[in-house]
Amino acid sequence: MDQHAMDTFDVAGLVPGFRPPPQPEAQIDPQLLAAAEVRTREWRSPLPGNLTPGSDRHRQATCRMFLDTFNPYRPAVLDWPVLAPAERARIVALPIWDIAVQTEGKARLRMAAYAGTLREPDMRGALALNAWEEQRHKDVLSRMVAAYGIELAPEPSPAMPADPEWAYLVTGYSECIDSFFAFGLFELARRSGLFPQTLVDTFEPVMQEECRHILLFANWAGWHRARLPMWRRLRFEARVAAVWLYLAWERIGLARTVDEGRAGQEQEQAQDNNFTLHGAQSVSGSDVGIPDLIELCLEENARRFAGYDERLLRPTTVPRLARLLLRVLRPFRGWR
């Protein structure tokens, strides 16, 4: 096992009172795992009436959703299928593995750091579990790259964030962007048949967990902002706007690096961070139009959220921007 899979990051050390969920020593009974898969995707609060953002009922439903939909799969016993040489070559060639592992490493630290600052125990516990699941995602990816012999660049140790709220906002909104496109790309990979169905099935719980994560983030943000006094809410909204500007500048800057054709490690890193700009061709083996990809991302985003209580807030900014872009691009349907 490589160094990443042996990671000993401990959420409980950063979040007082957090207890990691028990992990089975062996493979879970298939029937129990199938039942957990259903619970992960379908949940409704027993509380009647509206779930007004900022209310105790909203907080209770949000945190209960995240706990009730927990999937107990264990990375150490995931069955990585044997791949044909051509299949393995396609997996190894994807320019995402270094940044994917490192991103999960930063996300777990930032989420745990912010969770440790919260006084409200239910929300603190939910965000701590989110950090623990990010650690599990890192474990899954690390074990996968080890199973298929994918070489990773040395992973820098992420520093403890000096401003936990800012770091959590950047991570949360970044996940809202990345997950939206990942849902579509994952479905494109499944439909294309370039990756074996067994590998797609192995990663499916991770994809649905990302949906749960951004659902939790959207409801935390709505709960948090609604409880702030006016002057602090204005400050918070300014920070949110600054985060979106930061993320836009980060992605535009990286995209410009690719367009300018810079050579070497700088270009490779930019390609990693902008995988959604050209990843459709990598996972489908064909020339996929941008409007088609956006439509698929919107469909998959709606499908993954459909099973959760409609009274809970959803991430809306990226889908709205995607629909706006789609209206602009539809007259140029053949453009790629």
253 pLDDT band, cuts 50/70/90, is: low
* pTM given for the model: 0.89
Residue with the larger pLDDT of the pair 71 and 93: 71
Residue 135 near residue 1, CB atoms below 8 Å: no
Q: What is the pLDDT of residue 166?
A: 97
Q: How far apart are CA 59 and CA 144, in angstroms?
A: 36
242-261 burial: b if 16+ Cβ within 10 Å, else e: ebeeebeeebeebeebbeee
Lowest mean pLDDT segment, chosen from 73-82, 152-161, 244-253, 280-289: 280-289
pLDDT of residue 62: 98
At 233, list the tokens: 């809410």
Whether the per-residue pLDDT at 159 is higher than 90: the answer is no
Summarised one tens digit per residue, pLDDT across range 20-51 is 888 766 666 777 878 888 899 999 999 999 99
Decide if 307 contacts 41 (C-beta within 8 A). Answer: yes
